[in-house]
């Protein structure tokens, strides 16, 4: 079993910074991919960025140069942080941490299970 819990966020100002953290507890070798998604009212959930185990962070175009994702692996938990700089009003959303759970040897698209946190709201004021 794995538990995914987000923290941080809250209210920020345009041009300011906020930081989100995600702790995923469980069998860490099975946490193949970890990422941040966000969902604004009336919109579909979208990928902010993600890091595959042993890889580099990949970001959606709208946050490149402003957001930084970092991942740390431990014995019984992994952490995924999202540093958000130069915030924009359009960054306002509920942010979700996702873990792609895969315990096999060779990963292929769709072979893992998506595990989500409950989400944490971020509001950016102008």
pLDDT at position 106 is 87
Q: Does residue 96 have a pLDDT over 90?
A: yes
Contacts of 126 (CB under 8 A, 6+ apart): 14, 89
Strands 46-52 and 10-13: unpaired
pLDDT at position 58 is 97
* 79 closest CA partner among 17, 6, 16, 23: 23
Residue 58 to residue 45: CA distance in whole angstroms: 17
pLDDT tens digit string along 44-87?
Answer: 999 999 999 889 999 999 999 999 999 999 889 999 999 999 99
pLDDT at position 48 is 98
Instruction: Kindly indicate the confidence band of residue 10, based on its pLDDT and cuts at 50, 70 and 90.
Output: very high
**Helical (H) or strand (E) element with 12:** strand 10-13
Q: Does residue 1 have a pLDDT over 90?
A: no
Of the chain, the end-to-end C-alpha distance in Å amounts to 41
pLDDT at position 60 is 97
């Amino acid at each position: 079993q794995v538990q995914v819990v987000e923290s941080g966020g809250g209210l920020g100002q345009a041009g300011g910074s906020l930081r989100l953290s995600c702790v995923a507890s469980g069998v860490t070798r099975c946490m193949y991919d970890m990422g941040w998604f966000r969902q604004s009212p009336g919109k579909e959930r979208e990928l902010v960025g993600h890091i595959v185990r042993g890889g580099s962070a990949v970001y959606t175009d709208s946050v490149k140069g402003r957001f930084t994702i970092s991942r740390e692996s431990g014995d019984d938990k992994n952490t995924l942080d999202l540093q958000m700089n130069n915030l924009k009003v359009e960054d306002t959303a509920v942010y979700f941490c996702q873990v792609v759970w895969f315990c096999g040897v060779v990963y292929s698209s769709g072979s893992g299970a998506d595990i989500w946190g409950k989400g944490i709201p971020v509001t950016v004021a102008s």
